[in-house]
Amino acid sequence: MTEKPSAQKNSEGLLRRHFEGGTADIMNKINASIDVDWRLYAQDIAGSNAHCRMLVAQGILSPSDGEAIENGLEVVRAEIEAGAMQFDPALEDIHMHVEARLTELIGEPGKRLHTARSRNDQVATDLRLWVRDALDGLDQALRDLHVVLIELAEDHVETVMPGFTHSQPAQPVTFAHYLLAYVEMFGRDRDRMKDARTRLNECPLGSVALAGTSFDIDRGATASALGFDRPTANSIDSVSDRDFALEALSVSAISAVHLSRLAEELVLWSSPAFAFVRLSDEFSTGSSIMPQKRNPDAAELVRAKTGRIIGSLNSLLIIIKGLPLAYAKDLQEDKDPTFDSLDTLLLCVHAMAGMVGALEVDKKRMRECAGADYSTATDLADWLVRVGGLAFRDAYDSAGAIVRLARDSGCVLENLPLVEMQKIEPSVTESVFDILSIDNAVASRVSQGGTSGVRVREALAAAKARYL
Ligand code: ARG
């Protein structure tokens, strides 16, 4: 669920019964986080169940209280999912809502659940669980993107296109090689996410407010019940740091930047000036006035949403940077950027997989452009080194002079007469014409990681084994 099921009530909260005066409406407004953190309900209930079972196992709660609590929590979950929970700003957040409703439902045992627990360790645990699920979902989505990129690459091992530097045609490459560049980037993103998940996977529950507790709790039991590798080491750190979220948002920002670069390529390549690809109807929009337009809105939005994702990381860094240890309410503001960043990235990854999966590629047009602007001039210089025996710097000068001559004569390198080339560089022979084609330029680049068909086929096999 990403939409809050709505039902509202207003009352004095549970937390200020010892106060004489009521709260100002505006205080409720600024203090309540339920509009945002209701999304933690499943994690909150899972955490409460684990805590309750541990309290029973440790003899801190009676088995009958434990049973009443677990049954009650299931009712609360069902009510939230059915949209029947009465949300109330005076109850501030999801933790108080679950506890208050539980106590309404089951009475006395509900009041015992919060033994040896604080909202501080509760929220730190809930958010870790939420971020962990989000990272797992992103890994799956990036895997789906890997699948479509690799499938497209398999169809285009022979498709030649211009490779660019400075957005100028540089050397011919294959489209498969180009796509595999993104496969590498998204592969590193997935690795970073896995790495962040490993560090995240420690359980703060049992840190309580900040100092731990005098009750004989078993933190190992709650940690393993919630799928964590171990409990966190320091109770003060556990309730006050959010670096697990910062890491998730950092890797998300990097991944969004990769998506944004690919989105930018799709915007350019689908424009009539390039015409390398055509986005499917499903991923194109029309103009309200110009009937001929096919706009790449989804790609543009992926590019733009990257700004939001980077902004969320920035927000969270700034929220945390000035906080003294341990907990401060500032930390309540961690959820908005965390949810927004990870939700938005997931949306962008899905949209990108959709666009790439349905891309139509104009091989002919790519090939025409691959030979443009003397893109095999480096091959001529390399030939002059290999066959002509020149030092590379001299070969570079001679090849440059030959390109200038061809440009002035308005012809491609292959059509420049041998004698004309020899006037510039006497060591040139007929065999130079064997290496000036774009196909040769591609096939000859057999160095590891290079664009030749042999290397790209190997890279494809390696990518499939590694990422799929
Ligand atoms: N809603 C709070 C948050 O998200 C829960 C923790 C409240 N703790 C407290 N000491 N007021 O941070």
Q: What is the pLDDT of residues 414-429, one digit of tens each?
A: 999 999 999 999 999 9
The reported pLDDT for the residue numbered 292 is 81
CATH class given for the domain over 7-115 = mainly alpha
pLDDT, tens digit (0-9, with 9 covering 90-100), for 403-461: 999 999 999 999 999 999 999 999 999 999 999 999 999 999 999 999 999 999 999 99
- Residue located nearest, by CA, to atom 2 of ligand 1: 332
Question: Is residue 11 predicted with pLDDT exceeding 90?
Answer: no
pLDDT confidence tier of residue 218, bands split at 50, 70 and 90 = very high
Catalytic residue among 166, 167, 214, 447: 166
pLDDT confidence tier of residue 8, bands split at 50, 70 and 90 = low
For residue 135 the two structure tokens come to 């990272």
Catalytic residue among 6, 11, 280, 287: 287
**Ligand 1 near 33 CB (within 6 A):** yes
Neighbours of 65 (CB within 10 A): 21
In terms of phi and psi (left: phi > 0; alpha: psi -120 to 50; beta: otherwise), the region of 374 is left
Cα angle for residues 163, 434, 444 (degrees, 5° grid)? 45
Question: Is residue 10 predicted with pLDDT exceeding 70?
Answer: no
pLDDT, tens digit (0-9, with 9 covering 90-100), for 336-367: 999 999 999 999 999 999 999 999 999 999 99
**Ligand 1 near 119 CB (within 6 A):** yes
Is the Cβ–Cβ distance between 300 and 263 less than 8 Å? yes
Task: List, in sequence order, every beta strand (DSSP E) within 107-159.
Answer: none
CATH topology of domain 377-436: Ribonucleotide Reductase Protein R1; domain 1 (1.10.40)
Residue to probe by mutation, ligand 1, list 30, 48, 119, 121, most atoms within 8 Å of CB: 119
Question: Is residue 160 predicted with pLDDT exceeding 90?
Answer: yes
The reported pLDDT for the residue numbered 19 is 78
pLDDT confidence tier of residue 6, bands split at 50, 70 and 90 = low
The reported pLDDT for the residue numbered 287 is 76
Question: Is residue 43 predicted with pLDDT exceeding 90?
Answer: yes
**CA distances (Å), origin 170, targets 156, 163, 372:** 19, 6, 9
Nearest ligand 1 atom to alpha carbon 33: 1
pTM recorded for the entire structure = 0.94
Consecutive H or E run containing 174: strand 168-174
**Ligand 1 near 240 CB (within 6 A):** no
Is the Cβ–Cβ distance between 211 and 236 less than 8 Å? yes
**Ligand 1 near 210 CB (within 6 A):** no
**Ligand 1 near 97 CB (within 6 A):** no
Amino acid at residue number 264: E
Residue to probe by mutation, ligand 1, list 331, 334, 338, most atoms within 8 Å of CB: 331
Nearest ligand 1 atom to alpha carbon 331: 12
State the Cα–Cα distance between residues 466 and 463, nearest whole angstrom: 5
Q: Residue 165: beta bridge partners?
A: 168
Instruction: Select from 118, 128, 248 the least CA-distant residue to 195.
Output: 248
For residue 288 the two structure tokens come to 């309200």
Check the CA dihedral 208-334-49-90 and report its sign. positive
Consecutive H or E run containing 335: helix 335-357
Check the CA dihedral 40-41-42-44 and report its sign. positive
Task: List, in sequence order, every beta strand (DSSP E) within 282-378.
Answer: 360-361
Q: Which of 8-17, 50-59, 243-252, 301-310 has the lowest mean pLDDT?
A: 8-17
State the Cα–Cα distance between residues 281 and 178, nearest whole angstrom: 24
The reported pLDDT for the residue numbered 20 is 76
The reported pLDDT for the residue numbered 290 is 78
Ligand 1 centroid–CA 99 distance in Å is 14
Question: Is residue 153 predicted with pLDDT exceeding 70?
Answer: yes
For residue 366 the two structure tokens come to 């790519």
**Ligand 1 near 327 CB (within 6 A):** yes
The reported pLDDT for the residue numbered 65 is 98
The reported pLDDT for the residue numbered 257 is 98
pLDDT average, residue stretch 50-55: 98
Q: Residue 361: beta bridge partners?
A: 277
Ligand 1 centroid–CA 320 distance in Å is 14
Roughly how many angstroms between the first and final C-alpha of the chain, as a whole number? 28
Could you confirm whether 166 is annotated as catalytic? yes
Could you confirm whether 62 is annotated as catalytic? no
pLDDT, tens digit (0-9, with 9 covering 90-100), for 110-121: 999 999 999 999
CATH topology of domain 120-214+227-368: Fumarase C; Chain A, domain 2 (1.20.200)
pLDDT confidence tier of residue 289, bands split at 50, 70 and 90 = confident
Nearest ligand 1 atom to alpha carbon 209: 10
pLDDT confidence tier of residue 297, bands split at 50, 70 and 90 = very high
Ligand 1 centroid–CA 120 distance in Å is 6
* Angle at which helices 63-81 and 41-57 cross, to 10°: 170
Percent of the chain with pLDDT over 90: 91
pLDDT average, residue stretch 146-162: 98
196 burial via Cβ count (<10 Å: 0-12, 13-18, 19+): buried
- Residue 277 in 3-state DSSP? strand
Question: Is residue 15 predicted with pLDDT exceeding 80?
Answer: no
pLDDT confidence tier of residue 9, bands split at 50, 70 and 90 = low
In the chain, % helix, strand, coil (3-state, to 5) comes to: 65, 5, 30
Question: Is residue 291 predicted with pLDDT exceeding 80?
Answer: no
Domain ranges of the chain: 7-115, 120-214+227-368, 377-436
Question: Is residue 92 predicted with pLDDT exceeding 90?
Answer: yes
State the Cα–Cα distance between residues 283 and 355, nearest whole angstrom: 6
Please enumerate in sequence order all residues whose Cβ is within 8 A of that of 314, keeping only pairs 6 or more positions apart, or say none: none
pLDDT average, residue stretch 161-186: 96
State the Cα–Cα distance between residues 96 and 118, nearest whole angstrom: 11
